[in-house]
Amino acid sequence: MAKKEKLTEQKPAFAHQLNGQRNANRREKYLDELRDSLAARLRAGECAAAGEFVDMYHEQIYLFMRRLGHDRQISEDLTQESFLQAWQHIGQLRNGTALTGWLYRIATNVSKLYWRKHKDKETASIEGIGIDVQESNDIGYDIVEHHEQLGRLKNAVEQLPLKLKQVVVLHYLQHLTIAEAAEAAGIRQGTFKSRLNRALETLRKQFT
């Protein structure tokens, strides 16, 4: 009897999880269709699509630049440059599935070029580090448990070598999938995972 009651109690929770997964799948399917449509319109040279493209990604790319260590004005300039280059090379876009990684790849190259030209320029402080607690388990939950520790984490990320900081920013702060982030970084997924593991290990050592 007790076992039957326990199973009855578990059913609503399971149904809730199932509905949540279905909603997530529907949302992902909707976003895929939206990106496919947008990519097709961009390749066709539709100006209205270009505006929607900027509206969809401007904040993401601006924050990406800030998190890579560029100051406010430079981040705005580099964001505009990223969209300008995307529009100029729109014929290289394969499909909507590749849209996010493709744009971040352009933005990453724009940032790299800037740093090459300004090797002596100091990086700015990272804004809005925003690592979610549920996503921070790879680094260690206790790191993000208190505000003081968040400050230490932010400083630790800022001190990472550029290649390692880039993978942390792409995956944990910009919330790109491994596949999207690897494409954005211009490296294979295996190389990306290796760099990410090195970055996380470096961060862990800061808090042990």
Q: Can you spell out the DSSP letters for 14-45? A: HHHHHHHHHHHHHHHHHHHHHHHHHHHHHHTT
Sequence length of the chain is 208
Q: What integer is the mean pLDDT of 24-52?
A: 81
Band (pLDDT 50/70/90 cuts) for residue 73 is very high
Cβ neighbours around 123 below 10 Å, total: 14
Which tokens is 149 given?
Answer: 């520790």
Q: Return the minimum-mean-pLDDT range out of 76-80, 138-142, 164-168.
A: 138-142
Residue 134 has pLDDT above 50, yes or no: no
Per-residue pLDDT at 151: 66
Q: What integer is the mean pLDDT of 99-121?
A: 90
Q: What integer is the mean pLDDT of 124-142?
A: 50
Q: What is the DSSP string of 132-172?
A: -TTTGGGT-GGGGSSHHHHHHHHHHHHHS-HHHHHHHIIII
CATH architecture classification, 12-122: Orthogonal Bundle (1.10)
Per-residue pLDDT at 132: 47
Band (pLDDT 50/70/90 cuts) for residue 5 is low
For the chain, where do the domains classified as CATH 1.10.1740.10 start and end? 12-122
CATH 1.10.10.10 is held by the domain 125-208: yes
Per-residue pLDDT at 135: 44
DSSP annotation of 186: T
For the chain, where do the domains classified as CATH 1.10.10.10 start and end? 125-208
